[in-house]
């Protein structure tokens, strides 16, 4: 190549790229050394460099290069050694989407579209939803506007790859001089090269999700310490106390219970004062510590869990409520893979497609439905069971309809579709959230609206009471989750961080954490006291719709739009195992009282029971021999044609399910 020509190319390149000062310098030095032997750099004679320069200058703006480069890389990748293929193929996806976005960014809309359509088939299986989003990006401005695209552009994707695959890839890129692909790979992919054999194709789920810059932050966040133990002095504890004494001496039962009750009353009174309650509690604890040791010997699995102190001031529980809960716990049926629960199903009929959500109270006696016509309807199943005997007892006009009697309570107040309606643990309040951005608190005793909580900026998707009532959490389209207490109009905490809608929220049994599931396909765990994100769970491939926390506070289950349920270990933020089986949205999840079974309800009209006890018991062994121990599906209960909207294990371990019957589409 003519040296003059090279100089020209270099000049052209620099000018085009806007490196004006560099161009000036080059020009100057060219002038200075005109005709001299400055070519000592020898770039004129280096063929590699020549080609490189030529490729830069020649077709800088040619959109077909992307297609060419990518299709070459692709065919090379798919024809490579089987052992390393999956690792190499994994590289294709980021290259693909960045090629596409480069094309869009440069304004080659037409080429971008045809490029996208010709290669999207390769990635649809794993990344369908991302592709659907990206498919709409057609103008450079969209790239800026769309959060997903922006985060992709700004961040690097981590890909784990073994040494040999990495070498292969580099070799290929250098040999074929596909600088364009090399540039994209360098710019957007961060290789984590490890020595040894490549991983098997299936075991790392994280490899297939690309969530922008998440991974580093997630890794960082997940280092934080969390205390997943149960709350000290929980009702279970108290039950063990009485239970232990029961087994000791039948006679002493009455006394001890009375004593216990006094004790708790005193304690709750102290909490009521709030001031130094926690310290006093501590003292109290110290006093009873010796007896507690004795109790724990007789206790079950739950009690062996570590105990943590509540960070929130816990609400006072009235004595009779507490007594009834204790009674329920005492009568709880032990469930296992052999002893299955009974399932009672509440079917909504004549909903006219308007039922948005339903929920069941903790004892199964009340059922609430949130409707798209802004109303909430509450059924008292105990009354319905008694049939029409109490026909005219209600003086309340609301409960009497035109054609005789309505057997539900109609709660009207919202001005938009009601997306959730949940009961407080004793069943005396209903909390509803709506598209009108408000959350409303209703009393089931008065059948009236008590409070309207305003704070969210967009539709509120979900609201959940804490396990002890009083506090509740909400989540919204405005990408935040908020913590409220019943007596304040303003939220107490605001959890921001999700990259898309927060779709569901769930409290940890010890009340110190909440978990949120989002449309950004992650689940996050937040500290209620500080409002910080303490865990990020990455692995879902679509929007997370339901969450459940195991009663021992150690595990969490989350269900998504595709029908996958994932079991997470809270402390490590790792997925223990995905539970496959549903083939449509998992609307609801519920753990049995002692945590041995997980029930899931789905839009595919089934309730499934999963054995989760084996995994929790054998985790240590599992850690040793890898991921061999899988959770299994125990039973599938198909309904006739009713998608399952809500599930609830009562305190006595009876499973309640609810759903609206849908006409099978012909």
Residue 638 CB neighbour total at 10 angstroms: 11
Q: Distance between CA atoms of 543 and 561, rounded to whole angstroms?
A: 6
Q: Which CB atom, from 142 or from 309, has the smaller least distance to another protein?
A: 142
The angle, 0 to 180 degrees and rounded to 10, between the axes of the packed helices 3-17 and 20-32 is: 160
Instruction: Work out whether 443 is an interface residue with another protein (CB under 8 A).
Output: no
- From the number of C-beta atoms within 10 Å of its C-beta (0-12, 13-18, 19+), residue 520 rates as buried
Instruction: Work out whether 179 is an interface residue with another protein (CB under 8 A).
Output: no
CB of 54 to another protein, least distance (A): 31
Q: Which one-letter DSSP state was computed for residue 655?
A: E
CB of 626 to another protein, least distance (A): 14
Q: Which CB atom, from 313 or from 384, has the smaller least distance to another protein?
A: 384
Choose which of 5, 50, 109, 296 interacts with another protein (CB under 8 A).
109
Instruction: Work out whether 384 is an interface residue with another protein (CB under 8 A).
Output: yes
Give 523's Cβ-side CA count (13 Å radius). 32
Instruction: Work out whether 107 is an interface residue with another protein (CB under 8 A).
Output: no
CB of 460 to another protein, least distance (A): 10
Subset of residues 55 to 94 that bind another protein, contact rule: CB under 8 A: none
Choose which of 214, 442, 465, 587 interacts with another protein (CB under 8 A).
587
* Spacing of C-alpha 219 from chain mean position: 16
Choose which of 301, 340, 451, 486 interacts with another protein (CB under 8 A).
340
Binding mask 396-415 for another protein (x = CB under 8 A): -----xxx--xxx-------
422: left (phi over 0), alpha (psi -120 to 50) or beta: beta
CB of 371 to another protein, least distance (A): 8
CB of 522 to another protein, least distance (A): 16
For CA atoms 76, 81, 86, 88, give the dihedral sign: negative
Subset of residues 523 to 582 that bind another protein, contact rule: CB under 8 A: 543, 545, 561, 578-581
CB of 650 to another protein, least distance (A): 14
Q: Distance between CA atoms of 502 and 495, rounded to whole angstroms?
A: 10
Q: Which CB atom, from 389 or from 665, has the smaller least distance to another protein?
A: 665
CB of 463 to another protein, least distance (A): 12
Instruction: Work out whether 343 is an interface residue with another protein (CB under 8 A).
Output: yes
Instruction: Work out whether 37 is an interface residue with another protein (CB under 8 A).
Output: no
Choose which of 458, 572, 621, 627 interacts with another protein (CB under 8 A).
458
Among 7-15, 75-83, 132-140, 281-289, the segment contacting another protein (CB under 8 A): 132-140
Q: What are phi and psi of 112, to 5 degrees?
A: -60, -45
Q: Which CB atom, from 270 or from 560, has the smaller least distance to another protein?
A: 560
Q: Which CB atom, from 223 or from 641, has the smaller least distance to another protein?
A: 641
Instruction: Work out whether 638 is an interface residue with another protein (CB under 8 A).
Output: yes
Choose which of 381, 451, 486, 618 interacts with another protein (CB under 8 A).
381
Question: Which residues have C-beta within 8 Å of that of residue 496, sequence separation ≥ 6?
Answer: 479, 480
Among 18-26, 446-454, 526-534, 635-643, the segment contacting another protein (CB under 8 A): 635-643
Subset of residues 495 to 514 that bind another protein, contact rule: CB under 8 A: 501, 503
Closest CA to 481 of 465, 470, 497, 466: 497
Q: Using the structure block, give the residue that is written with the tokens 């409002």.
A: 531
Instruction: Give the strands of the sheet with 408-412, arranged side by side.
Output: 355-360, 366-371, 375-380, 408-412
Instruction: Work out whether 133 is an interface residue with another protein (CB under 8 A).
Output: yes
Binding mask 134-173 for another protein (x = CB under 8 A): -xxxxx-xx-------------------------------
Choose which of 449, 485, 571, 633 interacts with another protein (CB under 8 A).
633
Among 8-16, 29-37, 118-126, 604-612, the segment contacting another protein (CB under 8 A): 604-612
CB of 200 to another protein, least distance (A): 16
Instruction: Work out whether 589 is an interface residue with another protein (CB under 8 A).
Output: no
Q: What are phi and psi of 596, to 5 degrees?
A: -85, -25
Q: What is the DSSP string of 206-219?
A: GGG---TTHHHHHH
**Inter-residue contact 549 to 528 (CB < 8 Å):** no
Reduce the DSSP state of residue 256 to 3 states and report it: helix
Binding mask 460-499 for another protein (x = CB under 8 A): -x---------------x----------------------
Q: What are phi and psi of 530, to 5 degrees?
A: -95, -20
Reduce the DSSP state of residue 62 to 3 states and report it: coil
CB of 192 to another protein, least distance (A): 29
Q: Which CB atom, from 230 or from 644, has the smaller least distance to another protein?
A: 644
Q: Please give the torsion angle defined by the CA atoms of residues 484, 566, 204 and 76, in that order, rounded to the nearest 10 degrees.
A: -100
Question: Which residues have C-beta within 8 Å of that of residue 618, sequence separation ≥ 6?
Answer: 629
CB of 579 to another protein, least distance (A): 7
Instruction: Work out whether 391 is an interface residue with another protein (CB under 8 A).
Output: no
Q: Distance between CA atoms of 292 and 307, rounded to whole angstroms?
A: 12
Reduce the DSSP state of residue 555 to 3 states and report it: strand
CB of 634 to another protein, least distance (A): 8
Subset of residues 346 to 365 that bind another protein, contact rule: CB under 8 A: 346-357
Closest CA to 356 of 418, 446, 270: 418
Subset of residues 197 to 216 that bind another protein, contact rule: CB under 8 A: none
Closest CA to 65 of 178, 166, 211: 178
CB of 478 to another protein, least distance (A): 10
Instruction: Work out whether 270 is an interface residue with another protein (CB under 8 A).
Output: no
**Inter-residue contact 508 to 515 (CB < 8 Å):** yes
Subset of residues 417 to 436 that bind another protein, contact rule: CB under 8 A: 417, 419, 435
Instruction: Give the strands of the sheet with 429-434, arranged side by side.
Output: 418-423, 429-434, 438-443, 448-454
Closest CA to 573 of 230, 226, 231, 190: 226
Closest CA to 435 of 408, 462, 409, 412: 462
Q: Distance between CA atoms of 19 and 12, rounded to whole angstroms?
A: 10
Instruction: Work out whether 447 is an interface residue with another protein (CB under 8 A).
Output: no
Instruction: Work out whether 367 is an interface residue with another protein (CB under 8 A).
Output: yes
**Strands 448-454 and 460-465: what pairing?**
unpaired
Report how many residues bind another protein under the rule CB under 8 A. Answer: 87
CB of 535 to another protein, least distance (A): 24
Tokens, residue 624: 């040793």
């Amino acid at each position: 190549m003519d040296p003059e020509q090279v100089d020209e190319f270099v000049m052209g390149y620099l000018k085009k790229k806007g490196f004006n000062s560099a161009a000036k310098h080059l020009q100057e030095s060219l002038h200075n050394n005109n005709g001299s032997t400055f070519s000592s750099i020898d770039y004129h004679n280096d063929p590699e460099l020549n080609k490189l320069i030529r490729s830069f200058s020649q077709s800088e703006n040619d959109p077909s290069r992307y297609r060419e480069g990518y299709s070459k890389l692709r065919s090379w990748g798919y024809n490579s050694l089987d052992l390393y293929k999956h690792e190499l193929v994994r590289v294709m996806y980021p290259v693909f989407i960045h090629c596409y976005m480069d094309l869009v960014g440069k304004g080659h809309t037409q080429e971008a579209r045809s490029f996208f359509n010709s290669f999207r088939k390769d990635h649809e299986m794993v990344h369908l939803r991302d592709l659907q989003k990206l498919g709409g990006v057609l103008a450079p401005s969209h790239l800026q506007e769309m959060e997903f695209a922006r985060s992709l552009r700004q961040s690097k994707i981590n890909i784990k790859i073994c040494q040999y695959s990495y070498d292969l890839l580099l070799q290929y890129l250098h040999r074929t001089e596909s600088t364009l692909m090399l540039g994209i790979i360098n710019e957007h992919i961060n290789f984590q090269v490890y020595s040894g054999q490549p991983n098997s194709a299936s075991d790392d789920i994280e490899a297939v999700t690309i969530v922008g810059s998440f991974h580093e932050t997630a890794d960082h966040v997940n280092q934080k310490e969390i205390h997943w133990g149960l709350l000290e002095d929980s009702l279970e504890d108290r039950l063990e106390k009485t239970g232990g004494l029961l087994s000791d001496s039948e006679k002493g039962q009455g006394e001890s219970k009375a004593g216990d009750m006094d004790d708790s009353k005193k304690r709750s009174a102290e909490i009521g004062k709030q001031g130094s309650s926690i310290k006093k509690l501590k003292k109290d604890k110290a006093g009873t510590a010796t007896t507690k040791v004795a109790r724990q010997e007789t206790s079950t699995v739950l009690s062996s869990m570590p105990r943590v102190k509540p960070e929130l001031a816990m609400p006072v529980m009235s004595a009779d409520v507490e007594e009834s809960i204790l009674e329920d716990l005492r009568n709880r049926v032990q469930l296992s893979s052999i002893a299955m629960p009974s399932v009672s199903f509440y079917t909504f009929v004549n909903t006219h497609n308007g039922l948005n959500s339903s929920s069941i109270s903790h004892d199964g006696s009340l059922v609430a439905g949130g409707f798209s016509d802004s109303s909430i309807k509450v059924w008292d199943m105990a009354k319905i069971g008694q049939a029409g005997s109490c026909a005219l007892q209600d003086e309340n006009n609301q409960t009497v309809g035109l054609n005789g009697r309505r057997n539900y309570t109609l709660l009207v107040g919202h001005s938009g579709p009601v997306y959730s309606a949940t009961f407080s643990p004793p069943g005396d309040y209903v909390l509803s959230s709506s598209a009108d951005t408000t959350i409303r608190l209703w009393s089931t005793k008065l059948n009236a609206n008590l409070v309207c909580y305003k704070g969210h900026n967009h539709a509120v998707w979900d609201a959940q009471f804490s396990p002890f009532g009083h506090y509740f959490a909400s989540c919204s389209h405005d990408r935040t989750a908020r913590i409220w207490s019943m007596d304040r109009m303003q939220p107490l905490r605001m959890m921001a961080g999700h990259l898309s809608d927060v779709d569901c929220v769930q409290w940890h049994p010890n009340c110190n954490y909440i978990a949120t599931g989002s449309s950004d396909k992650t689940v996050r765990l937040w500290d209620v006291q500080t409002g910080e994100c303490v865990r990020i769970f990455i692995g879902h491939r679509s929007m997370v719709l339901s969450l459940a926390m195991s009663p021992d506070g150690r595990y969490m289950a989350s269900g998504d739009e595709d029908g996958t349920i994932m079991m997470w270990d809270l402390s490590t933020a790792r997925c223990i195992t995905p539970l496959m089986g549903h083939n449509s949205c998992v609307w609801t999840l519920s753990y049995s009282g002692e945590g041995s079974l997980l029930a899931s309800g789905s839009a595919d009209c089934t309730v499934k029971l999963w054995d989760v006890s084996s995994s929790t018991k054998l985790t240590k062994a599992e850690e040793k021999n890898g991921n061999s121990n899988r959770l299994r599906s125990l039973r599938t209960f198909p309904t006739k044609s009713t998608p399952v909207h809500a599930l609830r294990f009562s305190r006595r371990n009876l499973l309640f399910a609810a759903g609206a019957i849908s006409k099978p589409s012909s």
